[in-house]
Structure 1
Amino acid sequence: MAGLSLQCGDCGAALRTVEEAQEHAEISGHANFVESTQAVLNLVCTACGKPCRSQTEVDLHTKRTGHVDFADKTAEAAKPVVLESGSKPEMMDVDPKEEMQAPEVNQQLLEELEAMGFPRARSVRSLFYSKAENLEGAVNWIVEHENDPDIDEELLVPASSLKPALTPEEAKAKAQELVERARKKKEEEEKRLEREREKERIRVGKELLEAKRKEEDSERKRILMYRKAEKEEEKRAREKIRQKIEEDRAERRRKLGLPPEEPKPADQAAAPLAAPAAARPADETKPVQQPKAASKAEELRSCLRSIKQSHKDQDAKVKKAFQTLQTYVGNIGRAPQEEKFRKIRVTNPTFQERVGDLGGVKFLELCGFELDPSGEFLNLAAQSVDIGVLRAADKELSSAITNPFFGVL
């Protein structure tokens, strides 16, 4: 079977023609080529028309562009390899009008072969086809082809195929030309690859931007859902606080011996807690205590809210201050006769750090404490102890400590 390609024995590269083999040899320095019956692949991309000569090139093209459909046109492009040595002139495409002539060979080796008894026609064929530079190579070719039917026929080849031997300068120039051609081809390939890489970078960049946009949209939706849940939780907390206030109000009225409040119409739900003095029944025995307690509780709550809002970024410190104030109020409520619970040194560094720096002195003053003339102590006189105010203070402090929405409502 006729050879359809030349294969480099050093690197395995498949080449279509002798010219490609020469160019490959000039660039790589490889010189071991054999004739192969396997045609060089010609796989053409159906998307962009790029031809690929091997499966490796197909894989690289698919990886760079994503194209996966290829048409196999190997059979259409496969042609027998025309060799400058080792092939017969009858296998070449010869123009009938072209002049045929005997090839020029090494005369000295020709004479030696004839002296050894080989016919002149056989010797000329061996020297022409083997390109041997010594007697041994020519003899080896004769031995390998001695059974060829035309081995003793006179060899005539087209005149155009007899290229004159290149001088060293011409060979060097030819080599430089091949190297330059290979360099330009490599540069063009690198530019093409760079363009493809740039397109890939642009595509990846667009995909990243789209992914980022989707992530931002998802984050916005999550934040909206979170805020909606917060508002619903805040609404429930408000309702719970309102119910607790109603229960406390009813409990205070019960302790004071007042009748339960009648349900208010919807349009009067936001009316003040205490009725005007002129609207109070004449037979109430303690008409002043309820408005007073409610007003004091409101002042205490307002003071705690002010402390919480003034120190939004110091939740732990504010909570510690409220706990300290609750300890002061609780001690007095349990033992109002103990003077040590009713006297606080304002200049104490611990008191200043926990309470004074946050504005807690005002809360203690609302509970009945007074600053002495020296400015060193806060005193609560025994006759000024109001258990109702202390209980209201304790309740407001508990709410401020446990309610996560205290100060933000």
Structure 2
Amino acid sequence: MAGLSLRCGDCGALLKSVEEAQEHAELTSHANFSESTEAVLNLVCSTCSKPCRSKTEMDLHTKRTGHAEFADKTSETAKPIDLEKPAKADGGTEESAAGAESSQSEEMVVPEVDQKMLEELESMGFPIARATRALHYSGNSSIEAAINWVAEHEDDADIDQMPLVPMNAKSEDSKIALTPEEMKMKAQELRERARKKKEEEERRMEREREKERIRIGKELLEAKRIEEENERKRILMLRKAEKEEEKRAREKIRQRLEEDKAERRRKLGLPPENPEAAKPATPPVEEKKSFLPVKPVTKAEHMRDCLRSLKQHNKDEDAKVKRAFQTLLTYVGNVARNPDEEKFRKIRLNNPSFQDRVGSLQGGIQFLEICGFEKLEGDEFLFLPRDKVDMAVLNSAGSELNSAINNPFFGVL
């Protein structure tokens, strides 16, 4: 079967004649051609009558113009290829002239593009076929437009094939080629469009960043609220624990007072008090009130005994004794003046200063216990609960200490 086309062995393009093969070789430097029985497609647009030589070219035409109906006239125009280059002759029959005119009307040629922009694209590394195709389909408007076209169509199968257009279309394209002013306006329009697109993208990114800032702000507020709520719960738990500790301390003091009371009755030779018999007689509050007038007198005697014992065990160290009395007077006076301040009602027993002045001397800690202080937390602190602060006892303690400090014969006899 006679060949219907010439196939380029380098790029696979189908060519209708020897002349097309020569032009293709000049443009692409391809030299490997072979005869093929596959006819060159002739898909004619039903709307504008533009012929397309491949499915890819037809798809591009549809994408640019929206024309989607094509008539396949390949079989009508297919004819055996003449491998002999026709000679030029001045004369000829009407039939040969008509045949020449018909072949010329169907001949496909490489479109004309701006040579300066083509050279610039080649210097950037683009193949000549890809650069020619990009400039042709971008309208020879600008380098930017050609590069954008390549970026959008880099996955096309024929991206590196030299574009071909009918010769009459080439002449029409040359007629409507853009002037330098029009090209400049076109480039300006493309730059303006790119600027607007960039501004729109920046506005979109700013909106996204604002949304992110709002979201982070809400999360921070929620985290702060949760932290404050946890802090309130922690403070409530601490207060509850302090109340329970104070309650246990009061109960411990009450038990100790009961034991001291029982011990005093035993020393005085009195029978043990019957709590069941004492309860109906007077309420606990009234019993406390009834003992107030007697309590300071009894405690004052115990205080004098503690101070006298301290003086007698350190009778050769008057300065040390006087310093102990003044330290005890400071503790008692601070509590009497500031009964609500816990720091004045709590003394660390292992404090070096306290041990040197009071703790290491016999009778010093006993004197504070008579004033209402009690040992807590494994005998680490002396603590006077707020509800156990008795101003009468503290005043009596102050009087006894002043007497011991100012009386030079205290504890001598």
- Structure-1-length-normalised TM-score: 0.42
- Structure-2-length-normalised TM-score: 0.41
Q: Which has the higher helix share?
A: 2
Which structure: larger Rg?
2
